[in-house]
Structure 1
Amino acid sequence: MKSLITICLLAGLSCSVAAEKLAIVGGKVFTGSEQGTLDSATVLIDNNKIVTVTTSTEVPEGYTAIDATGKYVTPGLIGAYTQLGLVEVSSSAGTVDASVTESLVSSTGAAFDVSYAINPDSTLMAISRVEGVTSAVTGISRSATLFKGQGALITLSGASDSVLKARAFVAVDVGNYGAEANGGSRAAVWVTLNEAISEAVQVTTAAQLSPSSDWHGINSRADVKALKPVVNGTIPLLIFADRAADIRQVISFKKRYPKIKVVLVKGMEAWRVADELAKADIPVIIDPEFNLPGGFDQLGATLANAKRLEEAGVMVAIGMETHNIRLATQHAGNAVAFGMSWDAAMAALTVNPAQIFAMPDGLGTLKKGAQADVVIWSGDPLEVSEAAEMVIINGKQVEMTSRQIKLQQRYQQRAQSEQASQYIR
């Protein structure tokens, strides 16, 4: 990977001053739009928006040129399902905001809202950002309740207010973990889920949830309020499931509640019911690396999962555990090695998660009017030997450094300092 100084010289810019108008010239551009992938194109950025993507290599007056010849240019990557901003060390003895036990406000967990817990100063933000991840979907990973609360869409720009969209989805697990936490059996978890959703559907007026009104539901009043956007089809319901039998139950659930925007997450055996998922218009967020079963509900795990879903016409997004979302391109590359098309793999990292979660400002694409989240790569981003050389978020270049990089530099230079390394900041 080139150093930050080399990247600045390549761009002809000072990294401490963001140019208002940039022209990224000559790169192979994946647009994530109807323009597709262009072999040699120019991306024009004015302030924080994409002006256009054109096959012309001429730089308009007033634009600062960045030579991307021989390089790849893509939209900023989107972490399709993470706990970024909620967890630093998952096994910490302190508070881990990605885990919830119980609370007086909620009976089923739908009311929990992670937007209050996000820490934009998490070191994992920069670690992910320098690998080309510019925004993410973040939510609770473990809950003692039925639902995993309401997740959020965030930017990795480092801004103090990193939430792009609060209460963007609700999540629930109907697989082994979800069944174990809710009665110890799928016979309990599905009945509970159906009842919780049915209650939210039946509530039609605010008066029904008034503190002065009687309420005897399995949801709390706050849970019902959180579930109303789900049953109205405003925000998606993410359902975690792996085995084919569970996924068929998810498809049946979608038929019972056609207005709900159901999204399948994990889906290690999703390839076994790929045609049914496509027919039901259910997108799938997967980690394509899984090929060994971690439990009896994952016996059909295969590296060909992504390929088979794509061939069936299922919309696929790629997501994984928080600390490894920086490896998303490597995982997508492995999916390509096992038959997924290159364009579909790139879409799974960009435009597909943006569409699934209705992300604002055209994120996940390089097209006119979209927010300028752009990554310039040294080569094919799905090749493990290539890396992000420049990351632009909301029209501004970000510093290509992280805690890991700073630690490396600190101990490389320790012999040159008179102070002990632990006192250098």
Structure 2
Amino acid sequence: MRKALFSAAAAAALAFTATAAAHAETVAITNARILTAGPAGEIASGTVVFKDGKIVAVGAKLAPPADAKVIDAHGGVVAPGFFATGSLLGAVEVGSLGNDLSVNNPEIGASFDIQYGLNPGSVQFPVARLGGLTSAVVLPIPAGRRGGDADEEDDDDASQYTAGPSDTGSKSHALFSGQGAVITLNVGDAILTRPKVAMVAPFGAGGATIAGGARGAEFVALKEAFADVRDYMKNKAAYDRAGYRGLALSKGDLEALIPVLEGKMPLVAVVKRASDIRQVLAFARDEHIKVILDGAQEAWMVAPEIAKAGVPVLLNPLDDRPESYEELAATMDNAGRLSAAGVTVALEATGGSSREREMRYGAGNAVSHGMAYDAALKAITINPAKIFGVADRTGSLEPGKDADLVVWTGDPFEPLSQATAVFIHGQAQPMTSRQLELRDRYKDLGRPLPPGYVHP
């Protein structure tokens, strides 16, 4: 991987210029190695031009418009803003204090919609932006899983999956964890890019525990739930006047599952083991629904089947420990093997909401374990955009798309490279965070300290 290093003065000057450029009508970033993640591929040295928040031109021999505000990248790298897929951003601040990604309510399962609990003022957003993240796919987590941060959420003890506050009656609501959303990480309140992008459901040991203890029980329960939804779709009037048979799911959950059965909303299947993945693929085929595999630690073992089904996979590229019997074959080669087999792969965020800025490190690790560089870039840019239905707006540097891009001092997968400017919808974002502000406040101990720090 090639690196181009700025001097500190040059980086500071670029950051200042980028901030000022937010108010210009037209902006041109020149003298940059451009990673488009699109049909143009990599441009060794070129220019990106955007106007009114949209990219208007990308090319190698491209003269900036006469009225453009020019930012000289000094041989650095321009890349699309990265996606944090399977993210906690906007829904978790401190995992031990709870989250807005799960619910235990016998009336709310599939109808749970995370868009209403997202916090645009999260202190985690600035930290994520400094890691090159401009978008996030925020997905619910299964009911009963403890905490809210990834170090807790990723605990694979199936006993954490529960059906809700009661052990009596139907548990069908807990078969579905709710609906996710795509958000942008810009400053301001307007962060929702697209709501209701997918329905989430746990499979394997987690789904089995919810359904009563066995994997087979979950598939029976899911088939019954989908049959109820189909009956409800045909008999809404009778249902509304209480003239139809009782259904296990609430009306809200029934309504929420209609887009899944109509093929308008994919089902994100949280699954690990190769045999469970095969069952999910067969289930999706039988029910005629779109499915996305999430986790999929043993997916490499069934890569040809996944590719043939045209099913995308969300995975953590650092998963390589057999932390349960469901992932004995986990390996850091997973992403590379799947990509080589023709599977569309999106890399997931890992380490909790405060560490999602490390997404680029995960992509670099995937490359070091066999994934092609361009494939890894697409796995954190255009692939999640395609999977969750926003590729017409973002995910690659192409004319007509939102100007969501980042200027780097060097290869963004190299840990020493730094983001010097971040644009979302063409607007320059602040290049600071709470952590940096605290660093700057206390690195000079000669300054007057707050009263609580002053010894009598």
What's the TM-score, normalizing by structure 1?
0.92
| Mean Cα deviation higher: 1-10 or 25-34 | 1-10
Task: Tell whether the 8 Å contact from 2:366 to 2:376 is kept in structure 1 after alignment.
Answer: yes
Residue aligning to 1:13: 17
Residue aligning to 1:299: 328
What's the TM-score, normalizing by structure 2?
0.86
Residue aligning to 2:230: 201
Across the aligned residues of Structure 1 and Structure 2, the Cα RMSD in angstroms comes to 2.2
Residue aligning to 1:251: 281
- Counterparts of 1:302 and 1:114 in 2: how far apart (Å)? 31
The alpha-carbon deviation at position 208 of structure 1 amounts to 5.1
- Counterparts of 1:286 and 1:78 in 2: how far apart (Å)? 13
- Counterparts of 1:147 and 1:301 in 2: how far apart (Å)? 25
Q: Does residue 309 in structure 1 map to residue 327 in structure 2?
A: no
Aligned partner of 1:271 among 285, 297, 300: 300
SS in 1 for 2:95: coil
- Unaligned stretches of 5+ in structure 1? none
Question: Percent identity at matched positions?
Answer: 38
- Counterparts of 1:196 and 1:146 in 2: how far apart (Å)? 9
- Deviating runs (4+, > 4 A) in structure 1? 1-6
- Counterparts of 1:66 and 1:190 in 2: how far apart (Å)? 56
The alpha-carbon deviation at position 346 of structure 1 amounts to 0.2
Deviation sequence 1:226-272 (CA, Å, 0-9, x none): 111111111211001010010001110121133x2210001000000
Residue aligning to 2:171: none
| Mean Cα deviation higher: 299-308 or 361-370 | 361-370
Task: Tell whether the 8 Å contact from 1:209 to 1:221 is kept in structure 2 after alignment.
Answer: no
- How do 1:319-398 residues align onto structure 2 when only pairs under 5 Å count? 319-321=348-350, 322-323=352-353, 324-359=355-390, 361-398=392-429
SS in 1 for 2:407: strand
- Unaligned stretches of 5+ in structure 2? 144-162, 164-173
- How do 1:2-401 residues align onto structure 2 when only pairs under 5 Å count? 7=11, 9-10=13-14, 13=17, 15=19, 18=22, 19-92=24-97, 95-103=98-106, 105-106=107-108, 109-143=109-143, 144=163, 145-205=174-234, 206-207=236-237, 209-210=239-240, 212-258=242-288, 260-321=289-350, 322-323=352-353, 324-359=355-390, 361-401=392-432
- Counterparts of 1:211 and 1:69 in 2: how far apart (Å)? 69
- Counterparts of 1:88 and 1:261 in 2: how far apart (Å)? 32
SS in 2 for 1:60: coil
The alpha-carbon deviation at position 183 of structure 1 amounts to 1.4
Residue aligning to 2:166: none
Change (3 A) 1:39 1:212: same
The alpha-carbon deviation at position 69 of structure 1 amounts to 3.4
Task: Tell whether the 8 Å contact from 1:12 to 1:65 is kept in structure 2 after alignment.
Answer: no
The alpha-carbon deviation at position 162 of structure 1 amounts to 1.6
SS in 2 for 1:306: helix
The alpha-carbon deviation at position 84 of structure 1 amounts to 1.3
- Counterparts of 1:306 and 1:383 in 2: how far apart (Å)? 19
Kindly tell me the number of residue pairs found equivalent between the two proteins. Answer: 417
Task: Tell whether the 8 Å contact from 2:180 to 2:199 is kept in structure 1 after alignment.
Answer: yes
1:148 aligned partner, one-letter code: S
The alpha-carbon deviation at position 140 of structure 1 amounts to 1.7
The alpha-carbon deviation at position 14 of structure 1 amounts to 6.4
Change (3 A) 1:69 1:13: closer
2:272 aligned partner, one-letter code: D
Task: Tell whether the 8 Å contact from 1:378 to 1:389 is kept in structure 2 after alignment.
Answer: yes
| Mean Cα deviation higher: 372-381 or 7-16 | 7-16
The alpha-carbon deviation at position 178 of structure 1 amounts to 2.7
- Counterparts of 1:210 and 1:377 in 2: how far apart (Å)? 57
The alpha-carbon deviation at position 216 of structure 1 amounts to 1.6
Task: Tell whether the 8 Å contact from 1:4 to 1:400 is kept in structure 2 after alignment.
Answer: no
Task: Tell whether the 8 Å contact from 1:8 to 1:14 is kept in structure 2 after alignment.
Answer: no
Task: Tell whether the 8 Å contact from 1:8 to 1:15 is kept in structure 2 after alignment.
Answer: no
- Counterparts of 1:196 and 1:3 in 2: how far apart (Å)? 60
2:61 aligned partner, one-letter code: S
| Mean Cα deviation higher: 352-361 or 297-306 | 352-361
Residue aligning to 2:168: none
Change (3 A) 1:194 1:375: same
Deviation sequence 1:152-189 (CA, Å, 0-9, x none): 11111022132111222110010222322331221222
| Mean Cα deviation higher: 412-421 or 143-152 | 412-421
1:296 aligned partner, one-letter code: Y
SS in 2 for 1:343: helix
The alpha-carbon deviation at position 421 of structure 1 amounts to 7.3
- Counterparts of 2:241 and 2:367 in 1: how far apart (Å)? 54
Task: Tell whether the 8 Å contact from 1:24 to 1:66 is kept in structure 2 after alignment.
Answer: yes
SS in 2 for 1:279: helix
The alpha-carbon deviation at position 12 of structure 1 amounts to 6.6
| Mean Cα deviation higher: 213-222 or 29-38 | 213-222
Change (3 A) 1:76 1:33: same
Deviation sequence 1:270-328 (CA, Å, 0-9, x none): 00000000000000000010111111100000111011101110000001234232111
| Mean Cα deviation higher: 335-344 or 59-68 | 59-68
| Mean Cα deviation higher: 367-376 or 385-394 | 385-394
- Counterparts of 2:453 and 2:134 in 1: how far apart (Å)? 31
2:216 aligned partner, one-letter code: A
SS in 2 for 1:415: coil
Task: Tell whether the 8 Å contact from 2:18 to 2:428 is kept in structure 1 after alignment.
Answer: no
- Counterparts of 1:421 and 1:412 in 2: how far apart (Å)? 17
